[in-house]
Structure 1
Amino acid sequence: MLTRIAFRLLGAGALVGALLTLGQPSPARAAVPDTVPLKITNNSGRGEPVYVYNLGTQLSSGRQGWADADGGFHAWPPGGNPPTPAPDASIAGPAAGQSTTIRMPRFSGRIYFSYGRKLDFRLTTGGLVQPAVQNPSDPNRSILFNWSEYTLNDSGLWLNSTQVDMFSAPYAVGVQRADGATVSTGHLKPGGYTGFFDALRGQPGGWANLIQTGSDGTVLRALSPLYGVETGALPAGVMDDYVNRVWQKYATTTLTVTPFADRPGTKYYGRVSGGVMNFTDAAGAVVTSFQKPDASSVFGCHRLLDAPNDAVRGPISRTLCAGFNRSTLLANPDQPDTTTAGFYQDAVTNHYARKIHAQMADGKAYAFAFDDVGHQESLVHDGSPRQAYLTLDPLS
């Protein structure tokens, strides 16, 4: 089963994204090569140079580092305190209308791309500090950039587009499968980029404050609502009304969670008592409990909605997280709710995620950490990939 977990980079001190974790291997297939070609196509229409970075954890050794254009691994040197500049790991990207092919090694990592300027990466004694543009002093704040996440291992390739941390320079991902068929996801609708920012500006309640612009007023990105709450751009109580109504409802009603689509007989039953939502199994034993979550816990799927990679609390928590972000918990006491027509219908909801999904050509996105609940994620996968694709799309 494919899940996503929020993680903190060593030494970074801030939630910076989500990566893939993998469950049981797929059935036997043709051996997955040590590297897979990634064709990067620049359809942005922009004239600036593009810089590409392939950063991650080498799965065979657990070491952090970067890959060169041929997929060769380079471990990061020791860092310092304060952080020291990382080696220049940039790869020249394609010019407008052109393509460049690099090779992806067996990493759990990210493909970064930036327009016009190279990104500034630093190293601490604990590892790599990646860009954290919610920090006003981050040197990358004024750069237009984005990233994709991937894992390549014995079970194949998982490659996604993500908006978990921010919505910025648009792109799509794809994979050519072993049978030659190609699948892709992550493209916006025509006008979807500006449409998203226009919609966010029109959403009352502080949501427009998520937008960051350059010194010339050019839009660079919108921060995720988690960072909006952490930086004060969004009110800390932005989700309180909905959470309070959920807690009130399930003081007298049972919330049934069936976290595994392939195990419909595994169910947990939630009731609020004494301000705590307790979940019991079929035998009536309490298996886990949740304090009433705040907006940070909801948007980040962490803290009071922590989701360990286990068999009980994690699956229940990720279901709750999806229900809170999509505002389906009041409308449906059987979760997860996978009926997309019912998502984001309450006035109190994750409007950032709502507006992103509304602008996606196929409706799929990773707008919060567990947006894969109900298969709403923008992810491609194949057990024997021939080639992967990253397409830089227009900012229009």
Structure 2
Amino acid sequence: MLAGLKHRLLATAAAAALLGALLAFATPAPAPAAVPATIPLKITNNSGRGEPVYVYNLGTLLATGQQGWSDANGTFHPWPAGGNPPTPAPDASIPGPAAGQSKTIRIPKFSGRVYFSYGQKLVFRLTTGGLVQPAVQNPSDPNRTIFFNWSEYTLNDSGLWLNSTQVDMFSAPYAVGVQRSDGSVSSTGHLKPGGYNGFFNALRGQPGGWANLIQTRSDGTVLRALSPGYGLETGALPASVMDDYVNRVWQKYTTTTLTVTPFADQPGTKYYGRVSGGVMNFTNSAGAVVTSFQKPDADSIFGCHKRLDAPNDAVRGPISRTLCAGFNRSTLLVNPNQPDTTTANFYRDAVTNHYARKIHAQMADGKAYAFAFDDVGHQESLVHDGSPRQAYLTLDPLN
């Protein structure tokens, strides 16, 4: 699972290729190539910016469960004990490539993040519970005025999952990629030409407080846009921002059944939702109530948590994921069969997750992780391969 997100990424074993009949009689078929202890990550700086770049590879070493950081050679270093108040973490920075250049580091079998920052090193601290990640929704966070971003990845014995994420914020643009065992390359996360400025201009033009998500330096330099969940936390968005849509959904399903088919590969597994007494109850095909949801507020919707909590189970979690996607994309009123994967229906209501809407509109392939369960219906910006040769992180221009 990718650190910091509520994604549930399932590894699938690669099928072994069949040999020709004569060769198959002569020798046994080769086993799938094992994923090595580290793989190369090629970082290319196409940003056009002149400042130095600093790279960090932080996460959990899957073999031991230890938290720590990896140097450029892929060597793991556990974090020392922290304190209360938090103590400075060791300098885990790796000098990144200059503008127009590339640099290759090695990444170990982690579940973690690759951070990159422009011009300044990030500030990391350690508590008795582990690493303190940057939290730029807090005005006093020491990283608040630094221009940075991160990608999340899991590398394990089943392969690589690497994403471009905007779940927490939209900031320094980048794309991710993987070279497969056959030499082909898959990538995602690139913006359309003009997409960076296009996103911020669109957010500024959206009434209702959405422009307040944008954070700038004192000189007016744009640093990022916070996700709407953090917008609620900071007061940038009103707590009532999704109420009208939620009320209409709750009204509709007092007299209509919401059918959820949470697993694309299990079309016979369905759950049926109806609102009664202000609660949406879901029943299985036998009519037994399997889980219930209180009417969610905007925080529950944007964070896919609290009243839309999604445990990693076989029933409530998959239903909640589906509801979360339906609320964020505002598809629950136009289609009583969910998940709705018809992208033409996404974000059509006036009350919707406009942050997610505007991000997807600016992506070259339409894919993004604009909220935690944006992978419902495969709308996420993620690359995966079971036998990766190399990973890629490309720092893109701000235009």
TM-score normalized with structure 2 length:
0.95
Compute the displacement of 1:311 (Å). 0.5
Aligned counterparts of 1:199 and 1:233: Cα–Cα separation in 2: 16
What is the alpha-carbon root mean square deviation over aligned residues?
1.0
Instruction: Find the counterpart in structure 2 of residue 13 from structure 1.
Output: none
Compute the displacement of 1:26 (Å). 1.5
Instruction: Give the SS at the match of 2:299.
Output: helix
Amino acid at match of 2:157: D
Work out which of the two has the higher radius of gyration on C-alpha atoms and give 1 or 2. Answer: 2
* Residue-by-residue CA offset, 1:162-200 (whole Å, 9 max, x unaligned): 000000000000000000000100000000000000000
Instruction: Find the counterpart in structure 1 of residue 274 from structure 2.
Output: 271
Whether 1:117 aligns to 2:155 is no
Aligned counterparts of 2:338 and 2:90: Cα–Cα separation in 1: 47
* Cα contact 2:7–2:373 (8 A) shared by 1: no
Aligned counterparts of 1:227 and 1:146: Cα–Cα separation in 2: 16
* Cα contact 2:147–2:171 (8 A) shared by 1: yes
Instruction: Find the counterpart in structure 2 of residue 351 from structure 1.
Output: 354
Residues 203-218 of structure 1 mapped to structure 2, 5 A cutoff: 203-218=206-221
Identity score, percent: 85
* Cα contact 1:25–1:154 (8 A) shared by 2: no
Aligned counterparts of 1:291 and 1:213: Cα–Cα separation in 2: 37
* Residue-by-residue CA offset, 1:221-270 (whole Å, 9 max, x unaligned): 00000000111100000000000000000000000000000000000000
Whether 1:187 aligns to 2:177 is no
Residues 7-46 of structure 1 mapped to structure 2, 5 A cutoff: 17-18=4-5, 20-23=7-10, 25-27=12-14, 29-46=32-49
Instruction: Find the counterpart in structure 1 of residue 395 from structure 2.
Output: 392
Instruction: Give the SS at the match of 1:357.
Output: helix
Instruction: Find the counterpart in structure 2 of residue 254 from structure 1.
Output: 257
Residues 44-123 of structure 1 mapped to structure 2, 5 A cutoff: 44-123=47-126
Residues 316-355 of structure 1 mapped to structure 2, 5 A cutoff: 316-355=319-358
Instruction: Find the counterpart in structure 2 of residue 382 from structure 1.
Output: 385
Aligned counterparts of 1:328 and 1:25: Cα–Cα separation in 2: 30
For residue 367 of structure 1, the aligned residue among 370, 374, 379 is: 370
* Residue-by-residue CA offset, 1:356-395 (whole Å, 9 max, x unaligned): 0000000000000000000000000000000000000001
Instruction: Find the counterpart in structure 2 of residue 201 from structure 1.
Output: 204
Aligned counterparts of 1:375 and 1:311: Cα–Cα separation in 2: 19
Aligned counterparts of 2:215 and 2:115: Cα–Cα separation in 1: 19
Amino acid at match of 2:309: D
Q: CA, structure 1 residues 27+182, in 2 after alignment: closer, same or farther (shift >3 Å)?
A: closer
Aligned counterparts of 1:178 and 1:270: Cα–Cα separation in 2: 44
Aligned counterparts of 2:202 and 2:13: Cα–Cα separation in 1: 41
Compute the displacement of 1:19 (Å). 5.8
Instruction: Find the counterpart in structure 1 of residue 303 from structure 2.
Output: 300
Instruction: Give the SS at the match of 2:198.
Output: helix
* Cα contact 1:20–1:108 (8 A) shared by 2: no
Aligned counterparts of 1:360 and 1:23: Cα–Cα separation in 2: 25
Amino acid at match of 1:267: K
* Cα contact 1:72–1:105 (8 A) shared by 2: yes
Amino acid at match of 1:172: A
List runs of 5+ in structure 1 lacking aligned partners. Answer: 8-16
Amino acid at match of 2:53: V
Q: Number of residues paired by the alignment?
A: 383
Amino acid at match of 1:189: K
Instruction: Find the counterpart in structure 1 of residue 242 from structure 2.
Output: 239
Instruction: Give the SS at the match of 1:69.
Output: coil
* Residue-by-residue CA offset, 1:274-316 (whole Å, 9 max, x unaligned): 0000000000000000000000000000000000011000000
Instruction: Give the SS at the match of 1:18.
Output: coil
